[in-house]
Amino acid sequence: MANGNDIKLVIWMGDSLKQVKSFPDAVRRDIGSSLYDAQKGDKPDNAKPLKGVGNGIFEIVTRFDSDTYRTVYAIQIGNCIYVLHAFQKKSPKGIKTAQKDVDLIKKRYKQALEISKESN
């Protein structure tokens, strides 16, 4: 675990913050706690690697009532946490992320890489 001086800044890409703010309170608290763990350099218990997009991309999965909420973030871009996408999973079956969500995550990941390059 990192000390307090090593807390990474969170950068919200696109409408990801707006989406998280629209989630139920319990979900928002869970996501906030998980992102704070990531900021400290820890891996949140409810986060898993998201394959097929890039290195260092994780997905926080939060279940609430009968719904599932996902928040995708990148940790290996500069010294920041980039929240790439947040959404409520709509598919009634399967665990696969919808292609439109994957495409948006990839687009925002590329944007985050550009932002990181510009700030260096």
35 within some domain: yes
Model confidence, pTM: 0.90
CATH (domain of 27): 3.30.2310.20
Q: For the segment 11-27, what is each residue's pLDDT rounded down to a tens digit?
A: 999 999 999 999 999 99
Query: What pLDDT digit, counting tens, does each position of 47-95 carry?
Result: 999 988 888 999 999 999 989 999 999 998 988 999 999 999 876 566 6
Q: Residue 14 — left, alpha, or beta (φ > 0 → left; ψ -120 to 50 → alpha)?
A: left
Q: Give mean pLDDT, residues 109-113.
A: 95
User: Does residue 1 have a pLDDT over 60?
Assistant: no
Range of the domain at 37: 9-113
The verdict on residue 55 lying in a domain is yes
Say what the pLDDT of residue 4 is: 52
Integer CA distances (angstroms), 36 to 31, 39, 43, 107, in order: 8, 5, 10, 24
